[in-house]
Structure 1
Amino acid sequence: MTVYHPGELAVQRQLGQSDLAARLSRMVRAEIPDAAADFLAGQPMVVLSGADDSGHVWASLVTGPPGFMHVATDSEDAEQIVIDALPVTGDPLREVVTAQPRHVGMIAIQPQTRRRMRVNGVATPTGAGLLIRPDQVYSNCPKYISRRHVTGAAGSSGARAVRHAPSLDARMTRIVSAADTFFIGSTDAAGNADASHRGGNPGFLQVLSPNRLRWPDYRGNSMFMTLGNISVNPRAGLLIPDWDTGITLQLTGSAEILWERSTHAQCSVAFTIEELVELSGVSPLRWSEAELSPANPD
């Protein structure tokens, strides 16, 4: 029995990586290894993704002191991930995950060590946080992750600014064009969610117009969880963090795979923005200047 859905299998065939993906499927499990539990417990942030009732996909940053995520067992002795925090007020995913159990994707990333871990499953609201019952747990390689270190934490600055817009303005365009990191949320045809990371040198996330973006898809783990989802459901959401200020840009819209190859990319993805949300004060963490990944193509 494969862990991949038809969209993932189709992309693997399209790019000639089916055999490698089949071998790597053994690393995907529903159980949470001890090393993964220890990794989660040490992280001060996580990215969640999911779809709202209209099908729009959002990706959100959730932060807390190390230990705010941890693994526990329920009354049936099943493992679950406890997150003692929620997306901030004003985040469109907050109402989604607090209303009822939802399929979510989750990626925990540690920029200092370029480590990351992904979990897909069902999140149940607890009032002050979430319980995630995992369906898929796996790690990814450190490729394309910019190294950063926490330099401090900002105090509360009072009311959080929330701005909704249909497209990018000039200031937002500068943030997007300077990004070396963003996160993407996607879902398959059945609504199962995934959250993933994309990284590269500044400029790899190209602004083609105020509501149209494009990025190269560099060679990764050959599973194609994200591209596989996009191939069967174009709805997707992007999260672009401003590491200096704690501001986030959340974009929701539709993605399209462009199959032409280049020297460094196996394909590219175009993204059409339908709505964006800019939130201030999402993260108190302040980070050092990025040390770009040596794996990034020029």
Structure 2
Amino acid sequence: MSTAGQYHAGELAAQASAGLAGPAQASRRAIRGEIPDRAAAFLAARPMLVVGAADAPGRMWATLLTGPPGFVRALDDRTVEVAARPAPGDPLAVALARPARVGTLAIEPATRRRMRLNGRAEPTGSGLRIAVDQVYGNCPKYIARRAPLPRPAAGPGATDPGVEVATELSVEDRRLVADADTFFVATRSADGDADASHRGGAPGFLRVLGPSRLRWPDYSGNAMLMTLGNLGQVAAAGLLVPDWGTGTALHLTGTATVEWDPEAAAAEFPGAQRVVEFRLAEVVRAHGVLPTAWTVAEPSRFTPPAAR
């Protein structure tokens, strides 16, 4: 199991493949087993939390829990309470109604701050209680800055559009994915420990190769390579692609593989060091799940151009 201050075998192998074993050892000092006061304050101010976990068949999914600021709070330095659970129809609604290993990500696009918190969740009434294994911040690289805006209220007679399930991306889905500057990815280790991470880039960096095939670049970061380390052990992956304008979210589940040739990666995606290919098994479209509307994105100055 990957715990505070330690890497699991898959992460170590990924770091070695990338030539980042030394920097990764320096970065691991940031991984803690308890929640600092500053991290607790950051969590308490967030209106949304990305959660990654496995469903009963072992497929990975990423979803979004939302609520007013304060719906996520640290009860103590090793326990977090979330006053929300996935709605019916969400791909993790059943999985998170029982104990589960989860990876979570709290993000503030307006300031480009993000924090990952991984552990073991148990349902508590209408929410979750997470016993923390790992907590650490990530750098602001590749996060597109955007600020929340009030979402217009639904008009009289409006109905909840609910969710749709398919085995391929529709034309509209592919357009949303191709225009995305942000998505979230959930993976797990061979021991079952889950992780949720952010990926950002210029629109087009999440490349659509067909109704069930995607590719994206892996840029330089903190050298931990936790997502890639998990994929080296378990190919299952779940993607969450938000539409910041409409509030729709695409939940994708499938398998992902890493291509390690840095020259081939850079030739395909400027600035990339590796490439990840994703094969889709199922997509769940959830409408109106983001808690607010958002301003037009301001790209990070670190974001490489995405060749279309």
Shorter-chain TM band: over 0.9
Q: Deviations over 1:193-228 (max 9, x none)?
A: 000000000000000111000000000110001000
**Which moved further from structure 2: 263-272 or 128-137?**
263-272
What SS does the corresponding residue of 1:93 show, helix, strand or coil?
Answer: coil
Equivalences for 1:256-275 in 2 at 5 Å?
A: 256-261=257-262, 262=266, 263-275=270-282
Matching residue of 1:118: 116
Matching residue of 1:232: 233
TM-aligned CA deviation for residue 245 of structure 1: 1.0
CA distance in 2, matches of 1:161, 1:125: 23
What SS does the corresponding residue of 2:150 show, helix, strand or coil?
Answer: strand
Matching residue of 2:304: 297
What SS does the corresponding residue of 2:26 show, helix, strand or coil?
Answer: helix
Letter in 1 for 2:113: R
Equivalences for 1:185-196 in 2 at 5 Å?
A: 185-196=186-197
TM-aligned CA deviation for residue 169 of structure 1: 1.2
CA distance in 2, matches of 1:284, 1:102: 25
Are the aligned partners of 1:185 and 1:196 in contact in 2 as well (CA < 8 Å)? yes
Match of 2:56 among 53, 60, 63: 53
Equivalences for 1:1-298 in 2 at 5 Å?
A: 3-73=6-76, 79-98=78-97, 100-155=98-153, 157-261=158-262, 262=266, 263-298=270-305
What SS does the corresponding residue of 1:92 show, helix, strand or coil?
Answer: coil
CA distance in 2, matches of 1:83, 1:154: 26
What SS does the corresponding residue of 1:85 show, helix, strand or coil?
Answer: coil
Identical pairs, percent: 49
CA distance in 1, matches of 2:20, 2:208: 30
CA distance in 1, matches of 2:139, 2:132: 20
**Which moved further from structure 2: 260-269 or 153-162?**
153-162
The TM-score normalised by the length of structure 2 is 0.93
Letter in 2 for 1:42: A
Are the aligned partners of 2:213 and 2:279 in contact in 1 as well (CA < 8 Å)? yes
Unaligned runs of 5+ in 1: none
TM-aligned CA deviation for residue 3 of structure 1: 1.1
CA distance in 2, matches of 1:230, 1:96: 21
Letter in 2 for 1:297: P
Are the aligned partners of 1:48 and 1:61 in contact in 2 as well (CA < 8 Å)? yes
Q: CA RMSD in A?
A: 1.2
Q: Deviations over 1:6-57 (max 9, x none)?
A: 1100010011111111111111011000000000000001100000111100
Equivalent residues, number: 293
What SS does the corresponding residue of 1:239 show, helix, strand or coil?
Answer: strand
TM-aligned CA deviation for residue 161 of structure 1: 2.0
CA distance in 1, matches of 2:40, 2:152: 27
Gap change, CA 1:200 and 1:58, over 3 Å in 2? same
**Which moved further from structure 2: 205-214 or 84-93?**
84-93
CA distance in 2, matches of 1:154, 1:167: 31
TM-aligned CA deviation for residue 153 of structure 1: 3.0
Are the aligned partners of 1:155 and 1:284 in contact in 2 as well (CA < 8 Å)? no
Q: Deviations over 1:136-180 (max 9, x none)?
A: 000000000000001113446532421100011111100000000
What SS does the corresponding residue of 2:23 show, helix, strand or coil?
Answer: helix
The TM-score normalised by the length of structure 1 is 0.96
CA distance in 1, matches of 2:101, 2:212: 27
Gap change, CA 1:25 and 1:249, over 3 Å in 2? same
CA distance in 2, matches of 1:39, 1:284: 18
Are the aligned partners of 1:154 and 1:284 in contact in 2 as well (CA < 8 Å)? no
CA distance in 1, matches of 2:30, 2:219: 21
